[in-house]
Amino acid sequence: MSDFGFEVTATLPDGRGRAGTIHTPHGTINTPAFVAVGTKATVKAVLPEAVRDLGAQAVLANAYHLYLQPGSDIVDAAGGLGAFMNWPGPTFTDSGGFQVMSLGAGFKKVLAMDTVGLADDDVIAEGKTRLAHVDDDGVTFTSHLNGDRHRFTPEVSMRIQHELGADIMFAFDELTTLMNTRAYQEQSVARTQAWAVRCLAAHAELTRTRADKPYQALFGVVQGAQYEDLRRQAARDLAALEVGGASFDGFGIGGALEKENLGTIVGWVADELPFDKPRHLLGISEPDDFFAAVAAGADTFDCVMPSRVARNAALYTRDGRFNVNTAANRRAFGPIERGCDCYTCAHYTRAYLHHLFKAKEMLASTLATIHNERFTVRLVDDIRAAIESGDFDAFRSEFLGRFYASRP
């Protein structure tokens, strides 16, 4: 008997955007929701207890990184990802599909790529070496840690993710860049579809042989880059896919996206996916992207950006983003943002964070990350509340108008 389920509790007038609840063996996730990223079983610089206290409902880790270190077998022996990292709530694992792109082409972002005039299936980021090679059976990786070679296939990804024990996991997919040609995007969508069939079969067998473990939900991942026909066809095919009576429990929307077309692309996919299954948009965290994606039908999100920029002294406020390590904050004895309910703003000043960053103290990353993660989690929580109260459009206009007021 599966402990996984999803229900829609409110919708926007056009029926696409919605609020709902995801049920997992380790608790519920009220959606829309931002999922904090703990790539290596930790949100960098922050205790799991602090992640819980800032309001995060779930955490996402990466199967590829945990396979390399410490090893998925060790996480399994510890009782699964949540027990291993002392996180009591729901967990997600990414399949390793992002590493197909990031290690293969050297790019670290998939949103708003600068692709003008570029179309090259062998493109490599400047100064990078290709560490992943894709074929129809799977991907060969060269470890970024020690140079060892590893082979990922759909079956290997499923085994690793079952050992990691997350409540929600993703089918192994090939994530392309926006610089790949149309012909390659077509091949990649077909490859991801074939891998999805193999993932469902492996997932069913592992669920049977590991029946003593809590049920793990499997999400299929929709690719297709910026092409409407590819995105819609990929979504339809995954939604209809059934292997041995098993189908996907939900869906991820992945791949490289042009920022200005994000809402449009999510809308194409949402139109083709079943209404009663959750949709996770991989890798976004900017306020305007949240509003666009929620309005188009996305339910959950993850991104490393709030913590990554925090470690570089960039902090979010309702009036936009600023760098706390500038001279203007040296004698600023107020909180990062007045009215913020995070632990950092309740106890520390901009001047103190300025000092910590200038002194290169580790505590700087901790306090800055707590604030940025709380800002992001709270924003998506507020979007959910606005859907439920019928105030989504007004809240979007007010929030974005203020946040981007200084934008040229």
Residue listed under structure tokens 């929620």: 294
Torsion on CA atoms 29, 38, 235, 150, rounded to nearest 10? -140
Element (H, E) at 31: strand 27-31
94 catalytic? Reply is yes
Beta carbons of 132 and 99 less than 8 angstroms apart? yes
Cα–Cα dist 393/389, whole Å: 11
Rama region for 387: left / alpha / beta (φ>0; ψ in -120 to 50; rest):
alpha
Beta carbons of 307 and 369 less than 8 angstroms apart? yes
Per the structure block, which two tokens stand in for 381?
């929580």
Beta carbons of 270 and 296 less than 8 angstroms apart? yes
Of the residues 249, 289, 299, 302, only one is catalytic, namely: 302
Closest CA to 217 of 4, 402, 1: 4
Residue listed under structure tokens 């009576």: 245
302 catalytic? Reply is yes
Give the strand pairing for 217-222 and 168-170: parallel
Cα–Cα dist 342/173, whole Å: 36
Question: For residue 183, what are the contacts with CB-CB under 8 A and spacing of at least 6?
Answer: none
Beta carbons of 210 and 160 less than 8 angstroms apart? no
Cα–Cα dist 283/254, whole Å: 8
Residue listed under structure tokens 């439920």: 388
Of the residues 76, 94, 167, 173, only one is catalytic, namely: 94
Beta carbons of 271 and 232 less than 8 angstroms apart? yes
Closest CA to 223 of 215, 210, 212, 233: 233
Length of the chain: 408
Cα–Cα dist 154/77, whole Å: 22
Per the structure block, which two tokens stand in for 281?
């948009």
Element (H, E) at 280: strand 279-282
- Return the active site residues: 94, 302
